[in-house]
Structure 1
């Protein structure tokens, strides 16, 4: 991208976010962000075109002001929901001629795989290398500058999504006055949330958003499986609203200020006043009363993620669990997860100045994906954030194909060249059932007698205790 600024646009569950970053040594330096809440998006997809376009324009304006960068090119981030994961192989033969491998060889193989996967209702979002082999000798992660005489082989992952969803997202972004350079899936991006040891040993990222929980399992440096659940922080708010007969606005505010995901550590002393929807007098509850509801929902989410991992024969997560996303702001999230599994658990909060919120994790990871692919394919070579560009790509012949993003891919190559001249194993699981709202009857009686002992239903508590023990043993 121009001046080596990378801009990620994240169309999320209830907001549009933009992050402006640049390569800095071995990491990413974030120099500006923007965020606009909107009703135009839901679970990462567009449900109102005009509202979303307006939110994008507003978000970009904020990001330009905060970063001081006047940009018009972005990397678009797409959610995991509805995506399909496949794997494929490709090989280039050199016929005994000594050849130095460069970014063109890698790009040609990945593009061949992209064009080979043709489905009527699906679009290839990302083709990412799992590993390479030079002359069939050993696996490498980046073969550039190595010499080969026989062949270069790549095993690659392919992420496909609904063609309609992708085309509408790109159209909306472009009508907001932006150019989409490339599209990245959260399934690939989350690898940048993990540390090197976590992604090598086998780590799980769980991103809990407003209406969507996404997760991915990575091992030996690459994505193995991913999936999503149609539940998030919004459902916690609705649970609290129903349980305490209060408004959604009051429930959301109470959740942010007093919410705690781990019942045993929640305060039983502080008092929270909640207005009643039926006009009755305000009620007084404690953070522990709220935690009783919050923990129930969060346990359900975590256990459903564990269930999908088990379905994919993932029963050991040596690298541990990493929780992020907007709902990870809740107190007690880490403690609750630690109560469910035996592996290491941490909450990921970006450490970049100006973006130290877990809801920005995905967008920042998208910037990292952009930099990674740029360097792998040699679009640009960057030593650090302020070095001169050394662009080695050349304009490619335009070839039409049935793949919507092939044209996007070629357009990006031409743009880079112009800028230089001018200065789960298997299909992801997407569970859409089983998330009916909880029914909270006779809560007033519980509130009146909350000092008389544990309010939880004996049957529910026994079942939840059994499930805790089951999954704790599973991931030991």
Structure 2
């Protein structure tokens, strides 16, 4: 891998995606991508090693051809399945005045990993919340400061089951590439949020093929994350059953005619569906299809609300951000907005070539890689004519301030379309608008400087992550 290129691999339940990118200004420039659909992954985990391996090989090859980069090293994203999020602190001491560097930051974070005492789990990410120099000087980045006595870090920690970690890495590295580091989706999702959303308290809902992942950020940091095993495949199976057709046909009409909000679906858009037990096709309208899809999407969102309640997260003042492959369905935003009082938006990456919600995780993995490389001083990336861009978020003037009876400020009971179902009335519209959170994308012919400091990529490879892998596989 060229020094200024970052390659991420996202092993999803329906497809494997690879992105080759580079940092440019305050965003990421995508150079090439690859995507291969596969049946070797289930619930975000390896189900058939050989099938998954072939899909990973294919997508790496596609990305290599598209980008012109000989891919040798990659960053791997891991699902939220089997993970725990908690806080931990660690401190290192000095016996003389010491100028702090990326090596000291790496050392104090490495101590967090060593404190993990939960059997059969491994810390994959320790992200700093704040550093404390000499006991009372709180800073966000201590590099180049002088410490006379100590450097302490208060960090968020993401740990995952060792078996998941080992099998994912083994499958990827069997394809002839080295995994430089791994990043959990729980941490990656922070890059899809605006600063305002992260500060106020926002919930990311990633509706994939087999699982829906949830991450909650507040005061700028990850608070907690979880997942539910209900997602796009369940929608397809519901359609197949309701329309008496095959899974393949159900998947096709879901993408062609699907709508998640019954009230907005058309009863004029008519299509024919092959039947399992008959040679005669049956005609349905988009509204018929929306009736099935909306019911399942509601179940998914209600499951997300249950998770938030179990985690004790009662305020989502920053709103709900929906992404993932199933966010492509028409009406998803409208449905969720009809269910909650806070703002809702669909997140789609802004970079050319990946403007689909299902690429959010893969591009966010590159963002995480760049963040840690700069924090640990592996690289310093300096871009000419760099400008700071503030993302605009228009806040609602009529956000609800009183808690509902269930303790959730954001929950708004909806009016159901069936007469025989209980009817609820929203307290207020709760409608807001927001600009899409995005990274800036630039063309390849701009100039840049890229300087290695303290660590070459080869040295990083032999650092904390390779030591971890060696201990796990031994």
TM-score, normalised with respect to structure 2: 0.82
In structure 1, the partner of 2:428 is: none
Structure 1 residue runs without a partner (length 5+): 411-476
Alignment check: 8 A CA contact 1:181 1:409 kept: no
Q: Offset of 1:231 from its aligned partner? A: 1.2
Q: What whole-Å deviation, never above 9, does each CA across 1:100-157 have from its counterpart, x for those lacking one?
A: 3221111001111112214431122212112222334354322222333343221112
Cα deviation digits, residues 151-171 of structure 1 (max 9, x gap): 322111221212112111111
Classify 1:304/1:405 alpha carbon distance in 2 versus 1 (closer, same or farther; 3 Å). farther
Q: What CA distance in whole angstroms lies between the structure 2 residues aligned with 1:81 and 1:398?
A: 26
Specify the alignment match of 2:323 in structure 1: 324
Which whole-Å CA distance do the structure 1 matches of 2:139 and 2:293 have between them?
45
Quote the offset at 1:65 in angstroms.
1.1
Give the equivalent residue in structure 1 for 2:467.
406
- Determine the structure 2 residue equivalent to 1:122: 121
| Structure 2 residue corresponding to 1:387, chosen from 449, 452, 468 | 449
Q: How many residues align?
A: 407
**Superimposed CA distance per residue, residues 316-374 of structure 1 (whole angstroms, 9 cap, x where no aligned partner):** 11211110000000000111111111111110010001111110000000000000000
* Alignment of structure 1 residues 49-448 onto 2, 5 Å: 49-94=49-94, 97-137=96-136, 139-384=138-383, 386-393=448-455, 406-408=467-469
Q: How far did residue 99 of structure 1 move?
A: 3.2
CA–CA distance in structure 2, aligned partners of residues 180 and 378 of structure 1: 19
Match of residue 389 from structure 2? none
Where 1:210 maps in the other structure, the secondary structure is coil
Deviates more, 1:15-24 or 1:307-316: 307-316
User: In structure 2, do the counterparts of structure 1 residues 294 and 398 end up closer, same or farther at CA, with 3 Å as the change threshold?
Assistant: closer
Whole-angstrom CA distance in 1 between matches of 2:137 and 2:254: 52
Residue in 2 aligned with 1:28?
28
CA displacement, residues 290-324 of structure 1 (integer Å, 9 cap, x when unaligned): 11111111111111111111222211112111100
* 8 A contact 1:181–1:408 mirrored in 2: no
Question: CA separation in 1, counterparts of 2:310 and 2:375?
Answer: 33
- Contact kept, 8 Å, 2:348 with 2:360, in 1: the verdict is yes
Given that 2:380 and 2:450 are in contact with CA atoms closer than 8 Å, whether structure 1 keeps it comes out as no
Residue equivalent to 1:471? none
Alpha-carbon shift at residue 404 of structure 1 (Å): 7.8
Which secondary structure does the structure 1 equivalent of 2:3 belong to? helix
Please state how far the C-alpha of 1:405 moved relative to its aligned partner.
Answer: 5.5
Q: Which secondary structure does the structure 1 equivalent of 2:210 belong to?
A: coil
* 1:201 Cα deviation from its structure 2 partner: 1.7
What corresponds to 2:8 in structure 1? 8
Larger helix percent: 1
2-side partners of 1:235 and 1:220: how far apart? 34
Structure 1 residue 60: deviation in Å? Answer: 0.6
8 A contact 2:328–2:357 mirrored in 1:
yes
Structure 1 segments (4+ residues) deviating >4 Å: 394-400
Equivalent-residue separation in structure 1 for 2:88 and 2:339 (angstroms): 36
Alpha-carbon distance change, 66 to 398 in structure 1, aligned in 2, over 3 angstroms? closer
Q: Once superposed, what is the RMSD of the aligned Cα atoms?
A: 2.2
- In structure 2, runs of 5+ residues without a counterpart are 384-446
Q: Comparing 236-245 with 389-398, which one deviates more in the overlay?
A: 389-398
Range moving further from structure 2, 155-164 or 145-154: 145-154
Q: Distance in 1 between matches of 2:155 and 2:90?
A: 8
Q: Distance in 2 between matches of 1:99 and 1:36?
A: 49
